[in-house]
Structure 1
Amino acid sequence: MTVPVPKLDDLTWADLMSAVTRRIPAESDGIWTLHAPVDPGITLLELFAYLLEQRLYWLDQAPDELVVAILKLLGLEPPRPAKPAATVLALTTGEETPTVVPEGTVFARDPAAAIRFTLDDDVIAFPVSGEVTVFTDRDRTADLLARRGVPLLGNDGSAASARFTLPLRDARFESGWLSLLFELDSPVPPSWSPSAVGGVRPPAELSWSWFRPDTEISGAFEEVQDGTGGLRRSGVVRLRPPAGWSTVDRGLIVSTPSATYASPPRLLRLAVNVSAARHLEKRTVTDLGNQTGHWLKLPGQRLVLPNATGRLLAATLRLAGEKWESAPDFTFGTSRDRVFLLDRDDGALVFGDGLTGRIPRPTEDVHVAYTVGGGRDGNGGLTGNWLPTDSAVPVRAANLVQAEGGADPETVAQARDRAAGALGEVTRAVTPDDYVTLAVTTPGVAVGRAFASVGEHPGFPCAQVPGAVSVHVVPAVPREDLAAPDFVAAPMPDAGTLQTVSRRLGKARLLTAEVFVRAPAYREIRLRVDLSGAPADRVKVSTVVGEALRRFLDPLTGGDDGTGWPFGEALRPSALLRAAQEALGDLADVAAVAIGVDGADPAETCDDVPLRAGELPVVREIRTTVVPAAEPGEGLL
């Protein structure tokens, strides 16, 4: 049951006066007889009741400092500061030679614009001409240009490769990085996203190399920074070519000795001359002695920063050679702590009162490095008219992906609501549902479904082992088109996914629990569907029946509720017949459905076909046959 929220402010002034006046005769032994408002004693009691009522009101009010202290006690974040949006900028140059654009270059739509994005990395802007081409088993350039998604490398565990030709004009190149955007059709947050996580093992071991088109000349890159995590997510890939490389060697090969993906990664876009960029701008100021030199030793001193009103994001400060740091509040500060608060609205640094936070002394030796930007204003769509604020840099830019992730500063009330929601989140694995929730929400990997089998131990398949829990995970893979060439009927998680989920569950398990994270066990199913009568279009009927039953038994979209066939659920001929008939409608009548398991021929039976815990069906074959329509039996006279 839910514990009701206590109300401490439950007495009014009238209640207090009524209670105290009833006690006057007994407490005064009958001496105090005048209880009218004109009596000075009654006046004092009314004053005390008024003051007590105010104290009771304060009991129900939690000040901001108390809320922040409780958040720290619970191990939760204090009110979060503003967050900058992130995107990817693609640079173009009108020069005939590559242009070096350094890290930290600021871009804006016009010189006076407040929305500015700063590059995360150095970029070599190569002269560009033409389009990217891609070749896997055949030329896939048309699919890439139409953003239909090009499946790369496969998922059958064999060696695979993909070849690209980059649209670089012939130009002299000395040193630097070749920066590429690989935009993939993946539910995992991209590398530039604020919610991206690292430390996830790649799904396959990749090798990156270059080649010269129309020749046999090729070689390896000296260094690779793979933001895609092995093509698990969208990201920026930075390649350092070897000495002697030129843009004539514009071919790119990505290969793997074993394509162990859950499904082939789908490439939506490949772009050159790119870098992640964020809605922020870093500045430094030292000429603030007109403010700091006239400070008095009083609490609440402020240092207003230029052009930071409503945009202040972060700051570091040195006063007279001493380093001061920002803090979320002064609650836990002492008189010696060199801390300050960020006032984003006024663009100022606020200092303490000498008790919780030191009072700064007057000085003209001041150095402030601060960052402006952040907030929801940075979120937006695609545009191609970004210019560097430094006119000496001869490039233009376009953001290829939507700028996302920007957020305004969190208020104390919003932090309190967030904390209330966080207390309801699953952080410990106790029940089977807890294991499922934690597995499906594992950051950095795409898990579509999970099933916790309590008592299942891989070392003892025929016994229930107390304390053992086997968690079977199904990766999230595309399910839009069951007839697509890269459709995976039985998705298997890669080793990186299993390792990441296992690491998370290992931290959340109970001390005595033994957790195993495993792939699902698939049972091959062959079906025969008998149709009565003479369907007008047998090809259409077979197609409809096949698609309906494959989707009904699918591990991710099957079942009665469309969330995947339940783990270990028996195959019921009646349920399959119903699913086939609902899909056919009036096209034909389904007479029977026969089921064969593990390569056996389908056998018509009324019994359910059982599956063990952790097992799922995968349809390998569906045959449709037409049988004579059943004649109605004779009625009884």
Structure 2
Amino acid sequence: MPFALKNLDDRSYEELFAELRRRIPAYLPEWTDHNESDPGITLLQLFAWLMETAIFRLNQAPDERMYAAFLNLVGLGPAPARSAEAIVALQMRPGAPPVARAAHEVGFVAEGAQDGDEDVRFEAEADVSLIGAALGAVLVDDGMSPAPADATEANRRGDAPYAPFGEAGGAGRALYLGLDAAAPGRAPEITGRFEEAELHLFVRVEEEAGRLLGTTSPGSAASAPRGGGRPELLEGGVAWEGRVGPGAWERLEVAGDETRGLRRSGLVRVALTRRLAAGVEVGDLEGRARIWIRAVPAAPGAPAPRRIRWLAINALRVRQWRTVVRELLQPGSDGTPNQVRFVHNPPILLDPERPPEVEVEEPTGGGAEGDARAFQPWHLVDDLATRRPEGGGGVAPDGHPLRVFRALEDRTGVAFGDGIDGLIPPRGQNNLRITYRSGGGAAGNGARLRLAPGVDLPGLAAPEPEQREPASGGADEEPADEARERAPARLHALERAVTPADFETLAVDRAGVARAVALSRRHPLYPRAPVTGALTLVVVPPRAGDDAAPAPTQELLDRVAAALEPYRVLTTELFVVGPRYRRVDVTVEIEVAREADAAPAREAVAAGLRRYLDPLTGGYEGTGWPLGAPIAQGELREIVHGAPGVAAIRCLSVALDGVPQPPCEDIPLGSELDVAASGEHAVRVRAPEHRR
């Protein structure tokens, strides 16, 4: 059983005053007047009141400051803000020379935002490489048909997913991409004066409705190929080739493939060489000379790719932040302990993968006057009293403070040590500089982007990027009260995930999902039989906009599985999946009260139904629709009748995925992975009837 929390001192004012008065005979026996009118008694009453105030403040320490300090010590502070992200494709002029830019040099702002509004500024996540070409043709060769099928229009629309290697599955299957790289009056050229140019290609694969989308943790047994298959085929079952002549193709180097062989959405980076030759391919309806590359199965038996909704070249992933490089922390260091310096573009984004970096100019020859000076890196820590150096190694002994700094609680600046807990930066003018990212939060969700003013990209054909999906994934910093409430569960699951609740807590804390539900002994391949050691984790991502059924992408599922892998015990086989949403449409006819207006009552009923049938905040408890829980029509009637202005319910009917359901019965969803999601609700209003 847990320990009972006690106050350090529970004496009241009356008890303190009585104790002081009892001590008078022992210390001042000549003091004989103990009545209320005596000035000495008045002073004792004042001291008792002051002591009671001090005791009250002392009793707050264990529950507030000491508790918060303990959580910080074990690394359980509030979750930092997360930045929204989006995929954009820049349109380059055919024949323009390749362009390479550092990530922070390519910025975007949300449409309609004022210039300089940092809350909605985005930057490229990684260094940018653009080629002077447009995607002119997409061909699919199934290896059986006389000529490849033209999928250019389907790819442009994005509403007709196509199999990249066709449906027949014959030998010679390939996905052809034709690049228009010819400037007017010139032959197609892709690399300019360089030997190579890197093509960044984004592929959005189909995530079928009703299909169980999932992944396994990297160390689970299910992630290994069965039957002695080759592991490398699971990581990349597709090779990329470039046309170097009629019927001649050359293998291209793949610098990175997030799609794992066109089996999930992501970026592919392919190195194009000067040897690529333009030509006309069979199946190209326009019959133009283009630079051609193609994806082919890497080997017989390679995993089949998923159907593609759309793909785009010159694509980049952008994140909601602004990078500030080597900003001076004015006015430098004055050599005093506990210095605080503020940044010009708060708040500082505390991204664990890209923490802020501070450099301090220090003497390089032992500190003597006149020695050369150079900037040395200092490291971000949660507590300046840390004794563990960055990069591992041993523990620094007492009396050897480290080159460390911490971010202020409001993320507006940084603080340095006092010489005992953290070094004091040496005195100097303009000798402190910081590189950091500013931004993050939910403000970027749903943003549509345009290039920021001042971005220099020679060869750009259009200033507006192609963005097929709004930005998503941003979240504000976790409130301190919520972090304190979650701290016991997070502490329980800090080192190892053993119970289902441990996996749920870690998924929310480490992977940034909005909701996670763990199903013990549940294997996706054997849904009707309990499997010892198997655990299926159902995750729901943060909502983007007003999406009634937020579905995780394959990238998010992979990220959750990778985040939980260090905490998974050896005997647990972890599967991370998304929920299977069932659309619920409610048709209801209500009678409004005589004093109520019809329009507000109709909207209140619809809002109540949407709130109740919500995967994140729905259900009777308001914590998200329980997995697999049936829809109780009695609860639906309770929600409708509880809306302001509703006097009576005339009729109510429910449709599940468009299929009408029997009245007055609970509606089963089908499986324990099913979750109700609000659909279209029709609310009809009748005027109040006269009743005796």
For this structure pair, what is the TM-score category when the shorter chain's length is used for normalisation? 0.5 to 0.7
SS in structure 1 opposite 2:47? helix
SS in structure 1 opposite 2:484? helix
Q: Which residue pairs with 2:126 in the alignment?
A: 120
Q: 2:93–2:133: 8 Å Cα contact kept in structure 1? A: yes
Q: Which residue pairs with 2:294 in the alignment?
A: 252
Q: 1:308–1:348: 8 Å Cα contact kept in structure 2? A: no
SS in structure 2 opposite 1:177? strand
Q: 1:86–1:406: 8 Å Cα contact kept in structure 2? A: yes
CA–CA distance in structure 2, aligned partners of residues 235 and 304 of structure 1: 38
Query: Is 1:326 matched up with 2:347?
Result: no
CA positional deviation for 1:178 = 1.3
CA positional deviation for 1:154 = 9.6
Most deviating of 121-130 and 109-118: 109-118
Matches within 5 A, 1:336-375: 336-343=401-408, 347-364=412-429, 366=431, 368-375=433-440
Q: Which residue pairs with 2:189 in the alignment?
A: 172
Q: 2:357–2:378: 8 Å Cα contact kept in structure 1? A: no
Q: Which residue pairs with 1:317 in the alignment?
A: 359
Q: Which residue pairs with 2:203 in the alignment?
A: 182
CA–CA distance in structure 1, aligned partners of residues 101 and 52 of structure 2: 65
1:301 to 1:254, Cα distance in 2 relative to 1, 3 A: same
CA positional deviation for 1:215 = 5.3
1:92 to 1:430, Cα distance in 2 relative to 1, 3 A: closer
Q: Which amino acid aligns with 1:323?
A: P
Q: 1:285–1:369: 8 Å Cα contact kept in structure 2? A: yes
Please list the CA deviations of residues 87-108 of structure 1 after superposition, one character each: whole Å capped at 9, or x if unmatched: 2231112363243132322223
* 5+ long unaligned stretches in structure 1: 188-195, 455-463, 477-493, 520-556, 563-582, 587-637
Q: Which amino acid aligns with 1:123?
A: S
CA–CA distance in structure 1, aligned partners of residues 348 and 88 of structure 2: 22
Query: Is 1:383 matched up with 2:400?
Result: no
Query: Is 1:402 matched up with 2:470?
Result: yes
Q: Which amino acid aligns with 1:182?
A: V
1:206 to 1:449, Cα distance in 2 relative to 1, 3 A: farther
Q: 1:165–1:213: 8 Å Cα contact kept in structure 2? A: no
CA–CA distance in structure 1, aligned partners of residues 11 and 628 of structure 2: 57
SS in structure 2 opposite 1:43? helix
Match of 1:274 among 315, 318, 331: 315
CA–CA distance in structure 2, aligned partners of residues 283 and 378 of structure 1: 20
Q: Which residue pairs with 2:92 in the alignment?
A: 93
CA positional deviation for 1:226 = 0.5
1:379 to 1:266, Cα distance in 2 relative to 1, 3 A: farther
SS in structure 1 opposite 2:96? coil
CA–CA distance in structure 1, aligned partners of residues 479 and 562 of structure 2: 36
CA–CA distance in structure 2, aligned partners of residues 130 and 156 of structure 1: 25
CA–CA distance in structure 1, aligned partners of residues 59 and 151 of structure 2: 69
The structure that has the greater radius of gyration is 1
Query: Is 1:233 matched up with 2:301?
Result: no
CA–CA distance in structure 2, aligned partners of residues 337 and 276 of structure 1: 36
CA–CA distance in structure 2, aligned partners of residues 332 and 350 of structure 1: 14
Q: 1:90–1:274: 8 Å Cα contact kept in structure 2? A: yes
Q: Which amino acid aligns with 1:149?
A: P
Please list the CA deviations of residues 229-276 of structure 1 after superposition, one character each: whole Å capped at 9, or x if unmatched: 344432101111344025633242242532546xx6242220100122
Please list the CA deviations of residues 139-174 of structure 1 after superposition, one character each: whole Å capped at 9, or x if unmatched: 555554242433556999998955132453343123
Q: What percentage of aligned pairs have identical amino acids?
A: 21
CA–CA distance in structure 2, aligned partners of residues 585 and 364 of structure 1: 75
SS in structure 1 opposite 2:250? strand
Match of 1:150 among 138, 151, 162: 162
CA–CA distance in structure 1, aligned partners of residues 13 and 359 of structure 2: 51
Q: Which amino acid aligns with 1:301?
A: Q
Residues paired across the two proteins, number: 478
Most deviating of 313-322 and 267-276: 313-322
Matches within 5 A, 1:594-609: none
Q: Which amino acid aligns with 1:176?
A: A
TM-score (normalizing by structure 2): 0.55
- Tell me how large the CA RMSD over aligned residues is: 5.4
CA positional deviation for 1:386 = 1.4
Please list the CA deviations of residues 400-432 of structure 1 after superposition, one character each: whole Å capped at 9, or x if unmatched: 44333434445654543442452466975656x
Matches within 5 A, 1:517-556: none
Q: 2:179–2:291: 8 Å Cα contact kept in structure 1? A: no
SS in structure 1 opposite 2:91? strand
Q: Which residue pairs with 2:40 in the alignment?
A: 40
Q: Which residue pairs with 2:580 in the alignment?
A: none
Matches within 5 A, 1:198-597: 203=234, 205-210=236-241, 212=243, 216-246=247-277, 248-255=290-297, 257-258=300-301, 260=303, 265-285=306-326, 291-292=331-332, 296-305=334-343, 307-310=344-347, 314-320=356-362, 321=374, 322-332=376-386, 336-343=401-408, 347-364=412-429, 366=431, 368-376=433-441, 379-381=444-446, 383=448, 385-387=450-452, 389-391=454-456, 393-395=458-460, 396=463, 397-410=465-478, 412-423=480-491, 452=521, 469-471=532-534, 508-509=568-569
CA–CA distance in structure 2, aligned partners of residues 304 and 135 of structure 1: 59
CA positional deviation for 1:54 = 1.6
CA positional deviation for 1:364 = 3.4
CA–CA distance in structure 2, aligned partners of residues 343 and 19 of structure 1: 44
Please list the CA deviations of residues 441-465 of structure 1 after superposition, one character each: whole Å capped at 9, or x if unmatched: 99799x99966299xxxxxxxxx9x
Q: Which residue pairs with 1:76 in the alignment?
A: 75
* 5+ long unaligned stretches in structure 2: 183-187, 209-215, 225-232, 279-289, 351-355, 363-373, 388-398, 524-529, 540-553, 577-625, 632-658, 663-692
1:448 to 1:311, Cα distance in 2 relative to 1, 3 A: closer
Q: Which residue pairs with 2:674 in the alignment?
A: none
TM-score (normalizing by structure 1): 0.59
SS in structure 2 opposite 1:51? helix
Q: 2:257–2:267: 8 Å Cα contact kept in structure 1? A: yes
CA–CA distance in structure 2, aligned partners of residues 427 and 11 of structure 1: 41
CA–CA distance in structure 1, aligned partners of residues 512 and 472 of structure 2: 18
SS in structure 2 opposite 1:316? strand
1:585 to 1:405, Cα distance in 2 relative to 1, 3 A: closer
Q: 2:490–2:505: 8 Å Cα contact kept in structure 1? A: no
CA–CA distance in structure 2, aligned partners of residues 373 and 584 of structure 1: 51
CA–CA distance in structure 1, aligned partners of residues 85 and 64 of structure 2: 31
